[in-house]
Amino acid sequence: MFNVTDTFFAGKISTQSLAALSLTFSTFFIVIAVAGGMSQGVTALIGNAIGKKDEKHAKQVIFHSLILAISLAIILTIIGLLAAPFLMKILGAKGAYLSEALSYINIIILGSVFFVGVFFSNAMLNSMGNTKVFRNFLVSGFFLNTLLDFWFVKGGLGIKPLGVQGIALATIIIEFFGMLYLLLNLKKSRLLQDMPKFEFDSKIMFSFLKQGMPPTINMLLMALGMFLITYYISPFGKHVVAAYGVSVRIEQIILLPSIGINVAVLSLVSQNNGAKLFDRVKETVSLAQKIGFIMWIIGMFFIFGFGKNLMGIFTSDVTVIKAGLGYLYAAATALYAYMLVFINVSLLQGIKKPAILIYLSLFRQLIVPIALFSLLTFLDAPLVFFWWTIALIVWGSALFMLWYANKELKLLP
């Protein structure tokens, strides 16, 4: 919803501003991918330790996660600032278009430390089954983001209109206060009471890599997948890039409940796997898939019934709306496929067998899209072919994940 709000206000500036924001989304998502992916490893490790009733080990994991978080923040900031101009130019940005894109993404990259802080703090709270604190931050942050976006974009009270730069600044301010809020609540939790002496353990750091790298690479390849889509559709024009950015945000709104299920599955599976309550692991996944199916039916109803109206909230440009609707209709058929991928990824992380995610992501986000999109480009295919190709790739990935996850479930006692 933060992204949705940002997209709304970018659309009020101009179609170029909307396209610039869309252009940076894959780069922005890299920050989210690294912070989010590695933090999921933290949730799995602490959750399993809690399930085994080994609080001492859980507390040592917390110590080591702080070292990892600081290291990630530094690496993301340095690499991000160096790579952003190059990435934007690859996507065809130049002149004012490039300047506008960089004015947004550079601020986001400089605030990487706050994103990492939020994700890691929340990962620790999630491992203890506490999802309410993050909910409180996101709900209040959404309203504050709306207010700050309006103020910074329009200007007033001593601040000149800042354009997309103001949108980025609003995001970073909220992430900063969100990090402080999550850390304060984490400090009150039972796991941070009576902390033992820190003892560096290379095995724990290796465990972070083992558990965190597969989902991180998975999410990084998702960012690369978005980058590739933007690269292949950019020859169709700025209005198509803008349309992709808007329609992806609408798709995210529909998928929001499935993200909640994803978080719940990871927490529940991790703790029950640690406690060796494998029947509850299987029950959790089965119920999540049933709920996901119901959400899919509701989501398709909203997209096919109100897709044009939803696009109209963000832009009045008819060409942008038309291009975006093509993506939305294809995406509607693949909503359940996304949910199946999310749920089974969480399952594999929770039972500490996430390695397959790397290979799946390579095929889903890199190898297959490059092959098919290159073919479509060579054949000079219409834009709609690109949208439906994305949906087919997601469904192929979902069916494979469903088969593989069921195979792993059968191996549990």
Residue 241 has pLDDT above 80, yes or no: yes
User: Which range among 3-7, 182-186, 239-243, 406-410 shows the weakest confidence by mean pLDDT?
Assistant: 3-7
CA atoms within 13 A on the CB side of 279: 0
The amino acid at 374: S
* 3-state SS record for the chain: CHHHHHHHHHHHHCHHHHHHHHHHHHHHHHHHHHHHHHHHHHHHHHHHHHHCCCHHHHHHHHHHHHHHHHHHHHHHHHHHHHHHHHHHHHCCCCCHHHHHHHHHHHHHHHCHHHHHHHHHHHHHHHHCCCCHHHHHHHHHHHHHHHHHHHHHHHCECCECCCCHHHHHHHHHHHHHHHHHHHHHHHHHCHHHCCCCCCCCCHHHHHHHHHHHHHHHHHHHHHHHHHHHHHHHHHHHCHHHHHHHHHHHHHHHHHHHHHHHHHHHHHHHHHHHHHCCCHHHHHHHHHHHHHHHHHHHHHHHHHHHHHHHHHHHHHCCCHHHHHHHHHHHHHHHHCHHHHHHHHHHHHHHHHCCCCCHHHHHHHHHHHHHHHHHHHHHHHCCCCHHHHHHHHHHHHHHHHHHHHHHHHHHHHHCC
Percent residues over pLDDT 70 in the chain: 99
Q: Which residues, other chains included, contact 375 with Cβ-Cβ below 8 Å and sequence gap of 6+?
A: none
Does the pTM surpass 0.85? The reply is no
Contact 134, 148 (CB under 8 A): no
User: What is the structure's pLDDT at 94?
Assistant: 75
Residue 177 has pLDDT above 80, yes or no: yes
User: What is the structure's pLDDT at 381?
Assistant: 93
- Residue count of the chain, please give it: 413
Pair of tokens at residue 170: 């609003």
CA distances, 307 to each of 158, 220, 253, 321, 322 (Å): 39, 29, 12, 9, 10
- What is the spatial distance between Cα 39 and Cα 33, in angstroms, rounded to a whole number? 10
User: What is the structure's pLDDT at 26?
Assistant: 67
Residue 247 has pLDDT above 80, yes or no: yes
User: What is the structure's pLDDT at 129?
Assistant: 77
pLDDT confidence tier of residue 405, bands split at 50, 70 and 90? confident
Average pLDDT over residues 241-250: 84
Residue 249 has pLDDT above 70, yes or no: yes
Average pLDDT over residues 200-229: 77
Domain-wise residue ranges, the chain: 2-411
Q: What is the pLDDT of residues 71-130, one digit of tens each?
A: 888 888 888 888 888 877 877 777 777 787 888 888 888 888 898 889 888 888 887 778
Average pLDDT over residues 369-378: 93
**Residues forming beta bridges with residue 156, ordered by sequence position:** 159
Torsion sign over Cα 210, 216, 219, 221: negative
Q: What is the pLDDT of residues 24-72, one digit of tens each?
A: 776 777 777 777 778 877 877 787 787 778 778 777 888 888 888 888 8
Give the residue with greater pLDDT, 312 vs 193.
312
Average pLDDT, the chain: 83
Q: What is the pLDDT of residues 129-161, one digit of tens each?
A: 787 888 899 899 999 989 998 888 887 777 887
**Residues forming beta bridges with residue 159, ordered by sequence position:** 156
Task: Provide the angle, in degrees to the nearest 10, between the axes of the packed helices 2-13 and 15-51.
Answer: 170
Q: What is the pLDDT of residues 316-366, one digit of tens each?
A: 888 888 888 999 999 999 999 988 988 888 888 788 777 777 788 788 888
CA distances, 281 to each of 20, 39, 93, 244 (Å): 43, 21, 47, 37
Percent residues over pLDDT 90 in the chain: 14
User: What is the structure's pLDDT at 385?
Assistant: 93
- What is the spatial distance between Cα 302 and Cα 367, in angstroms, rounded to a whole number? 32
pLDDT confidence tier of residue 386, bands split at 50, 70 and 90? very high
